[in-house]
Structure formats: structure tokens, C-alpha cells
Amino acid sequence: MTADPIAIARDLLRCRSVTPDEGGALSYLQAVLAKAGFAVHRMTFAEPGSIPIENLYARIGDAGPNLVFAGHTDVVPPGDEAAWRHPPFAGEVAGDVLYGRGAVDMKGGIACFVAAALDYLAANGGKPKRGSLSLLITGDEESVAVNGTIKLLQWAAERGEKFDHCILGEPSNVEVPGDTIKAGRRGSLNGTLIVKGRAGHVAYPDRADNPIRGLIKLMAALQVPLDEGSANFDPSNLEFTSVDVGNPTVNVIPGEARARFNIRFNDHHSQTALRMLIERRAEAAAAGRVHYAFDWPPSNADVFLTKPGPFTDLASAAIAEVTGRKPKLSTTGGTSDARFIKDYCPVLEFGLVGRTMHQVDERAPVADLVMLTKIYRRIIEKYFD
Ligand SMILES: [Zn+2]
């Protein structure tokens, strides 16, 4: 390899890029990519009520097909830094393991695809054999994700950029490198159920209407399974995350009770259909005797699936060649920026092993980083052949 993924990863880990801070991570990538001949664009996106965030798009080549590697340089906070065996922003390697916040989620993954791209270009006279190679890097993934990939994609589309296929380097593997490609994600929908009653003295319940009774009844009705799963997805799930009455007194029946919930849903549902299903179930359970309402904040996390085909086959073959393993195509886990990218081109998620992401002592074995770089290198080679 002409480019060293470990050196790049260590440099990136030393940037304190906790969302929304850029921390020098994008400037570092800009310098590395510009030196290799990429046209690099830096954009800051903002909107009222949110913090402006820096982003980066880099491309080498003018023609199609355009293969895009996507990722985020922002990281979650380190928590108690003293609890770390190695400081979270030092990029230390100990016992052939790289430590640091973002080692797997996902500066490690970015370092691997940058190294793979540089190595491929060096072996091919500085340009892809045909088509273009691009990088789409945001600083706004771990937080609200409103000034990141979603706007970066809009910006790119407006200036006529066309994406053909995308690999998002999020940590996708469960146990070992090469065991899992994420080829889709469940959707995510938040809601709040609000039950209205009539407040009163706890000793005279007949003169009040306790909303907690109604809330319990409706909550039970909403916990009936939503489906049995589909060909590519686990069953959808509604999970209550908070029950709130906020009553500071012991002798007053409250006037209102609320329950918040999140639904992770599969391809049996759209957001609209799911909301209707939940409201129908509540209506039946309420039987006209419970007064309630739902609050549905907007969600930008729809379910999606990248269907098995030539692109998944190409990635699976490259992974098998390097690791000897045939990856599973999975749709489990939380949402990612793939939910935005899927509107522009087919997207797969493949990166490091996710086990220590967001934890104290987040870390990646050096051997995994080397292996992932070889896999990305092989994917690029096969793609442009
Ligand atoms: Zn991530």
C-alpha cells in the first residue's frame, strides 16, 4: 500500500471533532485528497434553530459511473476521559489495537477508504480507469443530522453531480470483518400519546377522571405486535420510552398523562399507514370512553432496502476474496445517513466491527483496519474494471 490507513486514522482521531465541531478533521482530509488530485469542496450548511456544520465533497474524474464513499468525521462525546485506558483523542496504538473516539464509528472506516482510494489511484496513473471516484463526508451525523448529508446531497444534485453507487463506511460487522453488509434499514417514527382526564381530590375519584387509567389501557393496546417481519426485515417494534405525569402531590388525581414511544418499522409499513394503524388501535381500545390525542413529530427516517443485485454481488465478492467469508445482507440496527443517500443511488453500508462504538475505550484492531482497506481497494478495482 502506498497509503497507510493506520497513519490516516491516527491523524483523524487526534482531531477533536465532537458534533458540531469540525475539529480539523475535514481540513486534514481536504489536504490529503487535494494532494492526490481530487477536486475538493467545503460547504457549511445552516438553518434557523440549528448550529452551522461543515461538510466536504471530493471527486476525481469527470465521467460516469461515479462511485461514492460516504461517511462522517463527527463523533459522540468521550464521556469520562479518565475512564479511558488511552486518551480518546490521542490516536494511540497499543498491543496492535488503535484506541480513540471514532476508531470504529467512523474515522477508522474513512481512513480505510481514503487509503484504498489513494492506493488505487497511484496504481492507475492518478485517475480511475473509467468514471469517477468521490467522497461525501459530513460533520453532522451523530446529532440532529439536519446540516449534513441531507443538504450535501441536495447541493451536489443542484450542481449536476450524479451518483451511481455508494458505500457508506459505518461499522456494519457484528463479530469479525466481512460478516455483515447492511443493505437496508428499518424506518423510525416517534410519537407521544396524550390522555386527558379531569383532576380532582384522590379521596373522591368519582368526581375526577384519572387519565392514568386510560393511558394504561391504550398503552396495552399499542403493544400488540405490528407484524411478523418480512423477507428482508425483522418484525416492526413499538417501544415506550417514557411515561410522564409529573404530579408532585400525593392527594391529587392528575388531569393529564403522557407516554412517549418510538417505532422501528419494516417494509410492511409506510409512516402514514403506520400512524393510521396506531390511531385505529387506540380508538378501538378507547371505545369512546378515553379522551386522547397523538402528537407525531416529523420523521426523516423511512424504511429502505437495497435489493440484492450486481452491486451487492460485487461487494460480497470483494469481501469474500479478502476475508474468505460470505457476508450476510442485514437490515438490523439504528438509522444512518444511508436513509438520505438511498434517494440518489443504491447504497450499502460496510465498515469495521461495531462492537465498541460509542463506548469508553472505543477501539479497532490494526489488522481489521488493514483488512478493510484491502476490501475497499478490491471493491474500487472491480467497480472500474
Ligand atoms: Zn457512525
Give me ligand 1 centre to Cα 168, in Å. 9
What gap in Å lies between CA 155 and CA 161, rounded to an integer?
A: 9
Sheet architecture: strand order including 180-182? 39-45, 53-60, 132-138, 66-72, 165-168, 347-349, 180-182, 328-330
Q: Is 141 tagged catalytic? A: yes
What gap in Å lies between CA 241 and CA 253, rounded to an integer?
A: 23
Report helix, strand or coil for 102. Answer: coil
Query: Does residue 1 register a pLDDT over 70?
Result: no
Taking only the tens place, the pLDDT of each residue in 155-187 is: 999 999 999 999 999 999 999 999 999 999 999
Closest listed residue to residue 282, CA positions, set 238, 221, 223:
221
Give me ligand 1 centre to Cα 73, in Å. 9
Over residues 127-148, the mean pLDDT reads 93
Closest listed residue to residue 376, CA positions, set 353, 351, 344:
351
Q: What is the DSSP letter of 80?
A: -
Candidate list 22, 74, 140, 349, residue with the active-site label: 74
Closest listed residue to residue 327, CA positions, set 210, 192, 209, 176:
176
Give me ligand 1 centre to Cα 171, in Å. 7
Give the pLDDT confidence score for residue 143 in this predicted structure: 82
Give me ligand 1 centre to Cα 282, in Å. 36
Query: Exposed/middle/buried for 324, CB within 10 Å: 0-12, 13-18, 19+?
Result: exposed
Closest listed residue to residue 346, CA positions, set 311, 301, 319:
311
Give me ligand 1 centre to Cα 335, in Å. 10
CA of residue 199 relative to chain centroid, distance = 43
Return the minimum-mean-pLDDT range out of 74-88, 122-136, 331-345, 351-365: 331-345
C-alpha angle 113-118-120 in degrees, rounded to nearest 5: 90
Query: Does residue 265 register a pLDDT over 80?
Result: yes
Give me ligand 1 centre to Cα 72, in Å. 7
What gap in Å lies between CA 316 and CA 20, rounded to an integer?
A: 34
What percentage of the chain reaches a pLDDT higher than 70?
A: 100
Candidate list 54, 119, 140, 141, residue with the active-site label: 141
Query: Half-sphere exposure of residue 208, counting CA atoms within 13 Å on the CB side?
Result: 21
pLDDT band at 376 (very low <50, low <70, confident <90, very high): very high
Give me ligand 1 centre to Cα 343, in Å. 19
- β-sheet bridge partners, residue 182: 330, 349
Give me ligand 1 centre to Cα 260, in Å. 25
Q: Is 74 tagged catalytic? A: yes
Give me ligand 1 centre to Cα 357, in Å. 8
Give me ligand 1 centre to Cα 123, in Å. 30
Return the minimum-mean-pLDDT range out of 219-233, 249-263, 297-311: 297-311
Give the pLDDT confidence score for residue 333 in this predicted structure: 85
Cα 192 to Cα 246, 262, 295, 300, distances in angstroms: 15, 9, 5, 17
Please enumerate in sequence order all residues whose Cβ is within 8 A of that of 379, keeping only pairs 6 or more positions apart, or say none.
Answer: 116, 167, 314, 315, 318
Taking only the tens place, the pLDDT of each residue in 4-50 is: 999 999 999 999 999 999 999 999 999 999 999 999 999 999 999 89
